[in-house]
Homo-oligomer: A and B are copies of this chain.
Amino acid sequence: MALVNEYFLRLTESYLFSDIAKKVNAYKLTHPKGNVISLGIGDVTQPLCPAVIKAMHEAVEEMATSAHFHGYGPEHGYDFLREAIVKHDYLSRGVHIDPSEVFINDGAKSDLGNIGDIVRWDNSVGLTDPVYPVYIDSNAMIGRAGTFADGKWSNITYMPTTEANGFDPELPDHRVDMIYLCYPNNPTGTVLTKKQLKRWVDYALKNDSLILFDSAYESYIQDDDIPHSIYEIRGAKKCAIEFRSYSKTAGFTGIRCGYTVIPKEVTATTFDGTQHVELNRLWERRQATKFNGASYISQRAAAAIYTPEGKQQIRETISYYMQNAAIMREHLQQKGLTVYGGTNAPYLWVKTPEGKTSWQFFDELLYSSGVVCTPGVGFGPSGEGFVRLTAFGKREDCIEAMNRIVG
């Protein structure tokens, strides 16, 4: 019989959001009249902007005619989109990226999950804790995370990101091969200044580490001194891969489009140390073999957000969500809760009152208010004692939820 990949069997049985769904379903069964408001999963609620809708209708029409039909696109994305990204997302911030360093995908999760294909299975991994579970699970699936015991994986260095260190995690006291960073951070909603981020780039350069930088939430940054891209830090083009998504920038969670930047200078080495291999080239090959490009319609939709109308319209939606965040922060603080995040990110990281655990406070919010949050501990051990609320709800739901929560 074919042998199974036993690393999969080491994974803890269920996925955070399935556990939440089960609890919510149980609540709904016993409270059939209750109106549950979900501020748990980070999914958007506002419709796509008119510029995107128009571009998609046009793209659909193209597919209806022989003259303008589009079949297989380039695996790495259409030039019209790669060039728009280079110009609007990078050049506008003084960062020079070549279009061939941009890989269009069907969403950041795919690339964050698959990027491990091109590096050795036993590289050591460092990540901030709490963390987006995909970073861990995707490494566990290939054995890179080691074995799981007492809530931690043996080959992962957890870098606590906590109230105690001001959500500015300390550098590891030893060398790690690969480091995941997500800023603005999911789940804590906190950010790093340029100076704080520079410490990580310097560490990576000094230790020859590879940084996997997830900036899916960069468009929510409001403060001027917060970097949107890791490439705003000198030297990062030698050591960092950046993951971007249109899911939160433009509400594309159902459209599926994002991109990954791999500068040509980023390399990894062979086991004997003799060869430095460009990761850009390996990823190009990986994608040409295991991916067939993102939908033409999704790519046209993405390009539309770089038009003047598109830019203005997505800015309005982002502003809507950030107003939600401000309203929620204020209400929660008035009710005596300690709240982090929500000023440069669409997530609020709320400290549980009276030393409750994350799941206790989750249950309390659900049963006393019908509000669904995400238990912080679901994102890792250092998330204990917190819950995450998203600002992606509809305004009326956010307000209603806040009114229901009694401090």
A-to-B contact residues, CB < 8 Å: 1-6, 8-9, 11, 15, 41, 43-48, 50, 53, 56-57, 60-61, 63-66, 69-73, 106-107, 109-110, 113-114, 117-123, 133-134, 137-138, 141-142, 177-178, 208-210, 251, 253-256, 267-271, 273, 275-277, 279, 282, 285-286, 288-298, 394
Contact = CB atoms under 8 A, between A and B. Distances in A.
Given A1-B208, A2-B269, A3-B269, A53 B63 contact: yes
Given A2-B210, A45-B69, A254-B297, 16 more contacts: A2-B177, A3-B120, A3-B122, A4-B269, A5-B117, A8-B282, A9-B275, A41-B72, A44-B71, A45-B66, A48-B64, A53-B61, A106-B294, A109-B291, A256-B292, A256-B294
A282 B5 contact: yes
A137 B69 CA distance: 30
Contacts of A64: 47-48, 50, 53
B253 A71 contact: yes
A216 to B, nearest CB: 12
Nearest to A68: B47
Given A63-B47, A71-B45, A2 B270 contact: no
26 contacts: A1-B209, A1-B267, A2-B177, A3-B177, A4-B118, A4-B120, A4-B275, A5-B118, A5-B282, A8-B285, A8-B286, A9-B270, A15-B289, A43-B71, A45-B69, A47-B69, A53-B63, A56-B63, A57-B60, A63-B254, A70-B254, A106-B106, A107-B292, A113-B291, A114-B114, A254-B295
Contact of A295 (B109, B290, B298): B298
A60 B69 contact: no
Given A72-B43, A255-B63, A268 B177 contact: no
B254 A72 contact: yes
A6 B56 CA distance: 41
A117 B275 CA distance: 27
Contact of A3 (B271, B288, B289): B271
A289 B141 contact: yes
Contact of A65 (B4, B47, B282, B296): B47
Contact of A268 (B1, B210, B254): B1
Nearest to A66: B47
Contact of A63 (B6, B48, B288, B293): B48
B72 A46 contact: no
Contacts of A177: 1-3
Nearest to A6: B270
Given A2-B123, A6-B271, A66-B46, A290 B134 contact: yes
Contacts of A292: 106-107, 109-110, 253, 256
Given A64-B53, A253-B72, A138 B290 contact: yes
A146 to B, nearest CB: 16
Nearest to A8: B282
Contacts of A109: 290-292
Nearest to A140: B289
A296 B298 CA distance: 10
A255 B70 CA distance: 9
Nearest to A120: B3
Contacts of A269: 1-4
B254 A71 contact: yes
A137 B291 CA distance: 12
Q: Most chain-B Cβ atoms within 10 A of its Cβ — which of A46, A70, A256?
A: A256
A296 B255 contact: yes
